[in-house]
Amino acid sequence: MNRILMLMLCLCLAVPAVAQDSGSDRGARLGELLELVRQGKARDASEQRERLETFIEERNEQDQRLQEREARLAELQDEVEAMESRFDENETEIAELQDRLDERSGDLKELFGVLQQVGSDVRSTLAASPTSSQYPGRGEFLQQLIEKAGSSSKLPSIRELEEFWYRMQEEMVASGEIKRYNADVVDDTGETDEREVVRVGTFNVLDGEGRYLNWESDTGNLVELPSQPAGRYLSAAAGFVNAEAGEREDFWVDPSGGSLLSLLLQTPDLRERIDQGGVIGYIILALGAFALLLTLERLISLGIVTMKVNRQARSSEPDPGNPLGRVMQVYQQNRHKDGETLELKLSESIAQESPKLTRFLAVLKIIAVVAPLLGLLGTVTGMINTFQAITLFGTGDPKLMAGGISQALVTTVMGLAVAIPTVLLHTVVQGRSKRLSQLLEERSIGIIAWRDDEGAGGTAEATA
């Protein structure tokens, strides 16, 4: 149709030009135009017939496929109905068989229920027991036995029940044995190596060097503890491991299977206790160390002075290297003066020697007083931290308050631990310095008395 319209339009446009041509040319051209129009119509009709035939063929194919799908759907529906009928029949048959099984099993069902419960308990016990490092694979067997005991389609065999009884007897016997065997041990770096270990019943496991090992039931491995107990525990364990058969050795056993050992490892050592005291604790320790150094210096100095004074007491020649010698030197320098002047000179000399003998005693006394006060300050600070933790987090977790309480108690202990020895040391040093001072005073009084006696004797002889 479009082609016909185009030809008609061309015809209309060509009319003015055709009118000017001659009559013969006009007729020829009109004939050609009509022929073109006829041919275009013929082609359009042919194309339309072809499209119609193609459409009819495709429609017939779709109808055929639809019929095939409908037939297949009908077949599947018949199969579904047959399967549903068979499913219902199977359910009915299964219910009847289950009733027959329950009727025939009778008391066995209750027995297998008890077996399942006991098996679960035994599996948990064996998994947590260090004997599993010597007898691996028991957990898998017990798991299969429990699944069979709880299954409705499988039953444990007599052999499996006997094996279950044997495993329980094996654990009871192992609880009273001390066994030496090889096992894989995970060290603190995560590496696994085979070592010779000693199992003490179901309580503890030691390696060949006497170190405690921990049995981890989650991973099924013997693990080396990150830290070991105090030396006395390790020395006893090493002696036990290296003991000969039949030899008696004392050994620390954890009857809880590792719980008490874990708590023992959490106990702070001396360094950790000191760290709990905080800054105030370190200040107290510094004062204690300073007091100890002062005491050592005083004891050594006074000891040396005492030896020199004793040596001077046995000699009539004054030695200016000791207090008594210096006092005697003052006497010799003022021996010709009157008694009152000589006494004043000797008293002045003794007064000059006393500060040297009592040096640092006041410092020791101050430290003995300040140390417990610092401990009290640490106590107050620790309690303040405890109350702050209670205010922020409540009292649900005692560990949050442990830091402040530890500081309060540790600083008090440290203050007293420094103050008490310092008081005793101050008393010792003060006693020695007093004895030297008294010795100087006695010697001074003796010198004056001897001079007076000598003067009185000379006067009596002159009078006679």
Q: So what's the pLDDT on residue 18? A: 42
pLDDT over threshold 60, residue 200:
yes
pLDDT over threshold 60, residue 12:
no
**196: DSSP letter:** E
Percentage of the chain with pLDDT > 70? 75
Residue 23 burial (10 A CB sphere; 0-12, 13-18, 19+) = exposed
The string of DSSP letters for 246-265 reads T--------TTSSHHHHHHH
CB 115 within 8 A of CB 156: yes
Q: Which residue has the higher pLDDT, 283 or 248?
A: 283
pLDDT band at 461, cuts 50/70/90? very low
Q: How many residues does the chain have?
A: 464
Q: So what's the pLDDT on residue 192? A: 85
pLDDT band at 210, cuts 50/70/90? confident
Q: So what's the pLDDT on residue 288? A: 93
Mean pLDDT of 35-61: 77
CB 364 within 8 A of CB 291: yes
**What contacts 365, CB < 8 A, 6 or more positions away?**
426
Task: Of 259, 229, 253, give the one whose Cα is nearest residue 240.
Answer: 253
Q: What is the pTM of this model?
A: 0.54
pLDDT over threshold 50, residue 189:
yes
pLDDT digits (tens, 9 = 90+) for 64-108: 888 888 888 988 998 898 899 899 889 888 888 777 777 766 666
pLDDT over threshold 80, residue 266:
no
- Using N-to-C axis directions, what is the helix angle for 23-105 and 2-13, rounded to 10°? 160
Q: Which residue has the higher pLDDT, 10 or 417?
A: 417
Q: So what's the pLDDT on residue 422? A: 93
pLDDT over threshold 90, residue 419:
yes
Task: Of 231, 172, 232, 242, give the one whose Cα is nearest residue 207.
Answer: 242
Residue 111 burial (10 A CB sphere; 0-12, 13-18, 19+) = middle
Q: So what's the pLDDT on residue 262? A: 76
Task: Of 146, 133, 114, give the one whose Cα is nearest residue 186.
Answer: 133
Residue reference for tokens 């830091």? 403
CB 128 within 8 A of CB 203: no
The count of other CB atoms within 10 Å of the CB of residue 344 is 13
pLDDT digits (tens, 9 = 90+) for 338-384: 666 666 766 777 767 777 888 888 899 999 999 999 999 988 888 88
pLDDT over threshold 50, residue 254:
yes
Mean pLDDT of 12-28: 50
How far, CA to CA in Å, does 381 sit from each of 18, 376, 387, 404? 124, 9, 10, 8
Q: So what's the pLDDT on residue 207? A: 85
**What contacts 234, CB < 8 A, 6 or more positions away?**
210, 211, 228
Find the range with the poorest average confidence among 294-303, 386-395, 447-456: 447-456
Q: Which residue has the higher pLDDT, 223 or 325?
A: 223
pLDDT band at 403, cuts 50/70/90? low
Query: Tokens for 272?
Result: 């950790």
Q: So what's the pLDDT on residue 342? A: 66
Give the helix/strand (H/E) hosting 215. strand 212-216
Q: Which residue has the higher pLDDT, 200 or 22?
A: 200
Q: So what's the pLDDT on residue 257? A: 72
- Dihedrals phi, psi of 287, to nearest 5 degrees: -65, -40
Q: So what's the pLDDT on residue 458? A: 44
Q: So what's the pLDDT on residue 6? A: 54
262-265 contacts at long range (C-beta below 8 A, 24 or more positions apart): 262/214, 264/229, 264/233, 265/225, 265/226, 265/227, 265/228, 265/229
Rounded Cα distance, 347 and 403, in Å = 58
How high does pLDDT run on average in the chain? 78
Find the range with the poorest average confidence among 16-20, 64-68, 443-447, 458-462: 458-462
Rounded Cα distance, 87 and 331, in Å = 133
**What contacts 299, CB < 8 A, 6 or more positions away?**
428, 429, 432
Most confident of the following: 329-333, 385-389, 415-419: 415-419
pLDDT band at 21, cuts 50/70/90? very low
pLDDT over threshold 50, residue 37:
yes
Q: So what's the pLDDT on residue 425? A: 92
The count of other CB atoms within 10 Å of the CB of residue 123 is 19
Mean pLDDT of 287-301: 92
Q: Which residue has the higher pLDDT, 22 or 51?
A: 51
Task: Of 391, 410, 390, 416, give the one whose Cα is nearest residue 401.
Answer: 390
Q: So what's the pLDDT on residue 464? A: 33
Rounded Cα distance, 379 and 382, in Å = 5
Mean pLDDT of 176-192: 84
pLDDT over threshold 70, residue 263:
yes
Find the range with the poorest average confidence among 13-17, 86-90, 123-127, 393-397: 13-17
How would you classify the pairing of strands 212-216 and 178-186? unpaired
Mean pLDDT of 236-254: 78
Name residue 370's amino acid.
V
Rounded Cα distance, 323 and 309, in Å = 7
